[in-house]
Amino acid sequence: MEASKASGQSTPASRGPQQWMRRHPLFFFFLMSYAFSWIILIPYLLSVWGILKGNFSFLYILKPFAGPTLAAIIMTGVTEGKEGLLRLRQRLGQRRAGWQWYLLILLGIPALILLGIVIQPGTLASFQGLTPRLLVTYPLYFFVVFFGVALPEEIGWRGFALPRMQPRYGPLWGTLLLGVLWAFWHLLFFLTPGHGGGPGTSVATFLTSFSYFFLMVMAFAILFTWVFNHTHGSVFIANLLHAAIDTPQLVWIPLFLAVDETRLNLASLIAFGVPALLILLLTRGRLGYQPGQEQPLGPGEIKAQPTL
């Protein structure tokens, strides 16, 4: 034992799974995010397509908790220990940000999505009108989406992945890579009614719907990174932004008879594609990133130099 230490050779324990996870934290994070979410979704998919009997809809709700959240907690614990988990918890509750960010998120985001809807042919004519009930249902839906969808995803995407991807790949390429992985994490979900799929859906409809969604997520990824970098890496603000994007899916669709999942994704692409391009041009791809702003890396993680 002493001889191996003196010669600098690694012991079997140092070559164990945790050492591999520390050296490749992003790979194992995304591997677990996909595996945990997709495995837990399989019974629901089989039931939707009539292969498995029973109601497994509760698994659809659990998919983000079993994926990005669990993967982020495991990998943070492995790479940074208890101190890292404490830092992640602090960033989840970091609410300090300029009022303009809250205004943009809570009012500007829904307004942009609504604009993307009404400029599509035929949608405005199908508008059913506003009701006082919306004043109650919108905050309720927002609360549910914040804790049931946004929070479990953002603990992983912006809580764990983005702070490591920006210093390693640079803000632009790190954001685009995260956007691709974030979008394809949803791929199986498009085989379910919740994403406009399910039995009877044609391949053309599936490809069209997912293509709009993919481009939309890429635009969102740029917006998320830009906001994230200007709010000191606040996961809370990222959660808020995610909820502001997803809540209209529950609110606007019932108000417009002509709007379905595909049209809603197209509306979001229209609404945020141009702002995303403007952010890229005005920041020259830096997206507000400042080297050194990311959280400290854990033992064994390799810190690459930021790329411009």
pLDDT tens-digit series, residues 141-164? 999 999 999 999 999 999 999 999
In this prediction, residue 264 has a pLDDT band, given cuts at 50, 70 and 90, of confident
3 pLDDT above the threshold of 80 = no
**First-residue to last-residue Cα distance in the chain:** 45
Cα(80)–Cα(297) distance, integer angstroms:
7
36 pLDDT above the threshold of 80 = yes
pLDDT tens-digit series, residues 11-35? 444 467 889 999 999 999 999 999 9
Q: Taking residues 5-9, report their average pLDDT.
A: 43
Q: Taking residues 224-248, report their average pLDDT.
A: 95
pLDDT of residue 296: 42
pLDDT of residue 85: 94
Query: What percent of the chain is predicted at pLDDT more than 70?
Result: 90
Residue 256, strand partner residues? 127
In this prediction, residue 263 has a pLDDT band, given cuts at 50, 70 and 90, of confident
pLDDT of residue 130: 80
180 pLDDT above the threshold of 70 = yes
CA 220 distance to own-chain centroid: 9
Q: Residue 66 has which token pair?
A: 């079993």
Q: Which of 39-43, 57-61, 213-217, 239-243 has the lowest mean pLDDT?
A: 57-61
120 pLDDT above the threshold of 70 = yes
Q: Taking residues 261-287, report their average pLDDT.
A: 91
Helix/strand/coil for 127: strand
Cβ 199 vs Cβ 50: under 8 Å: yes
294 pLDDT above the threshold of 70 = no
Residue 249, strand partner residues? none
- Measured in residues, the chain has a length of 308
Q: Which of 110-119, 157-166, 220-229, 231-240 has the lowest mean pLDDT?
A: 110-119
Cα(27)–Cα(157) distance, integer angstroms:
13
Residue 301 per-residue DSSP state: -
Cα(280)–Cα(172) distance, integer angstroms:
8
In this prediction, residue 7 has a pLDDT band, given cuts at 50, 70 and 90, of very low
Q: Taking residues 234-252, report their average pLDDT.
A: 92
204 pLDDT above the threshold of 50 = yes
Q: Residue 261 has which token pair?
A: 């999942």
**Domain boundaries of the chain, sorted by first residue:** 2-283
- CB-count burial class (<10 Å; 0-12, 13-18, 19+) for 51: exposed
Nearest Cα residue to 295 out of 154, 94, 151, 160: 160
282 pLDDT above the threshold of 90 = yes
pLDDT of residue 15: 60
Cβ 145 vs Cβ 250: under 8 Å: yes
